[in-house]
Structure 1
């Protein structure tokens, strides 16, 4: 085993340990590891700056940034809260039906948008609805947490690791969906069935509390209808092109970045506030990880 192999292995293993143990922010850890790898590689002749730049998958980073930008445009409009309240009204206060509907909303959103953001925005409304119904919010929050991950696994754009896998394997959006969807459906039904069984005694509601839920108005949660409509139109067009990108020989990153650009021009948000909602830590983490690996 050569000295260069030992040094690169030590840097990589230490970085992985710090990432998995969360002793340090994973973005900082990956960035420091990449810098050490390039520095040691340049000094010892086994890894250069040019090789590090070539190793970064800009298709993955572009896709992540584009979708994050769309979520950042949609987040302050109240759209996520609107969907949660709509699900509560549509369930007519039936606890099991509410769990299924909230889980479905979370799953579908997580298939195309960041699942952490989806849960963070829907969860507070879920707690409020649970208080009105007089039920334990834990079953609903667990359903959203589990099914957001389930939905995120389903599509190429659902989770950052999916983008990396698809890019490395050369999978199109449809290739990824056709392989993962059957497993996702099984996991989705299994998760709901298990939660229904485990929390069967917590899913009881009085008629008065059901009526209170029906008084909720989802339109009150929607702060900016015009922006919501515009971003959803752009997102819908982007999703359509994700399905046909392989036939058009277009990279998914180009679709996401193009959609983000159209959304920014059409909505014209406060750019500073919008950029604050981008998960830069995730982008730095993956960019540095590509360079280090």
Structure 2
């Protein structure tokens, strides 16, 4: 789940392809709106839904002329309803199901931005530089720790948008090569988002479908989270051995970080609130909103932000995109995709079945993007049980490290890298993904299977 700042990669050919695809989908949609097409048969409804889904994803990847993801997504959702590809009742049901999740996402995005205003991410940069003491290998370890915690507590968006620039600045300050540390941000934005329901939009959806409590979700995912991060770290140290052995060019500068105590206390209380709310049956959106409100009042009083800045932090166009995407994916599922995928979903929660579910989720995430993938697979996995839902989550969170398009987080990370006058080598990115993704996915699934056997479920 990524804020509405996602923009084009700058490749003209990709822009042309996307615009052509959007135009074709719009032409199909307009044709479907004619009276003759008021009652679409199943194949026509499926084709229309898939065409609109691809148009939405293509637009979200490239965002021609900087227009929001919602520019195509909202009309596409309207088209599937108006043409009868999805009934009004099912569309309203999907919006109602996603409403609390989207509200929670808005609150977490605001919370992360206000923590940045309080100086939390600057303090992280100072601590990483102090811990590294001019040694790139120590800096990599520090980045892994900070990025993992930030992703788990404040979501992957905070790691990509707010922490990545800090990592760039810290590496430059030490004279270290930025590559290993910056790549760690994008990998951990995906991989380290496994721990808590608040860490990723896909987690929120899986949390709702699983029926687990906040604490039980975290308990079952703790071991897979640690295993996946450990595998990533081991591969990174070997893959980037040359860069890490090059040494820092600047002398180590010792500086005591000024801890933003108010932000840290607010975050701690918010996390404690999630635990209490889980037992009390209160939706977590209210806890996140309360934490964001506390920081907002302080930031407004100190003039560190404005009401308009808080609204921008909530990324309203992206929230509209998420709701519209849910409606269009529901149309795709209702018109045949669910039946097709149902034949591929393994039954039970044996180790082989969990591996199959995670692999299917990873393939679908890289083919369609992880958000549509989880929306498609959760209705099929939920009847099997919480273990199946969590296996799907492993696939859609770890799998996207294989390709640029696997998650919107990776695409936004690429934009942040370009903003720092750096580039991403596609071959290097892919080779790193091939080394980390299968190993981390298998290791985390085995860890999940062990957690389920020990804790039940």
Q: Higher relative CO (CA 8 A, sep ≥ 6), structure 1 or 2?
A: 1
- List per-residue Cα deviations over 1:193-223 (Å, max 9, x = no partner): 11111122222366883xx33244544xxxx
CA contact (8 A) 1:119 1:144 kept: yes
Other-structure match for 1:191: 232
Counterpart Cα distance in 1 of 2:70 and 2:263:
29
Other-structure match for 1:159: 200
Q: RMSD of the alignment, in Å?
A: 2.5
Other-structure match for 1:58: 99
- Return closer, same or farther for 1:208/1:7 CA change in 2, 3 Å cut-off: closer
CA contact (8 A) 1:242 1:255 kept: yes
Other-structure match for 2:454: none
Counterpart secondary structure, 2:314 = coil
Q: How many residues align?
A: 279
- Return closer, same or farther for 1:163/1:145 CA change in 2, 3 Å cut-off: same
Other-structure match for 1:14: 51
Counterpart secondary structure, 1:202 = helix
Q: Are 1:254 and 2:294 matched, yes or no?
A: no
Other-structure match for 1:92: 133
Counterpart Cα distance in 1 of 2:248 and 2:77:
59
Q: Are 1:36 and 2:79 matched, yes or no?
A: yes
Counterparts of residues 200-219 of structure 1 (less than 5 Å): 200-204=241-245, 209=250, 212-216=251-255, 218-219=257-258
Deviation at 1:270, TM superposition (A): 1.1
Other-structure match for 1:222: none
Deviation at 1:130, TM superposition (A): 2.4
- Return closer, same or farther for 1:195/1:248 CA change in 2, 3 Å cut-off: same
Counterpart Cα distance in 1 of 2:326 and 2:87:
13
Counterpart secondary structure, 1:157 = coil
Other-structure match for 1:283: 319
Find the partner of 1:47 among 62, 77, 87.
Answer: 87
CA contact (8 A) 2:110 2:314 kept: yes
Gaps of 5+ in 1: 220-224
Counterpart secondary structure, 2:242 = coil
Counterpart Cα distance in 2 of 1:32 and 1:52:
14
Other-structure match for 1:107: 148
Deviation at 1:11, TM superposition (A): 3.0
CA contact (8 A) 1:34 1:291 kept: yes
CA contact (8 A) 1:114 1:158 kept: yes
Gaps of 5+ in 2: 1-38, 331-457
TM-score between both structures, scaled by the size of structure 1:
0.84
- Return closer, same or farther for 1:114/1:28 CA change in 2, 3 Å cut-off: farther
Other-structure match for 1:81: 122
- Return closer, same or farther for 1:203/1:255 CA change in 2, 3 Å cut-off: same
CA contact (8 A) 2:118 2:263 kept: no
Deviation at 1:157, TM superposition (A): 0.7
TM-score between both structures, scaled by the size of structure 2:
0.56
Counterpart Cα distance in 1 of 2:294 and 2:247:
48
Larger deviation: 103-112 or 274-283? Answer: 274-283
- Return closer, same or farther for 1:51/1:194 CA change in 2, 3 Å cut-off: closer
Larger deviation: 256-265 or 95-104? Answer: 256-265
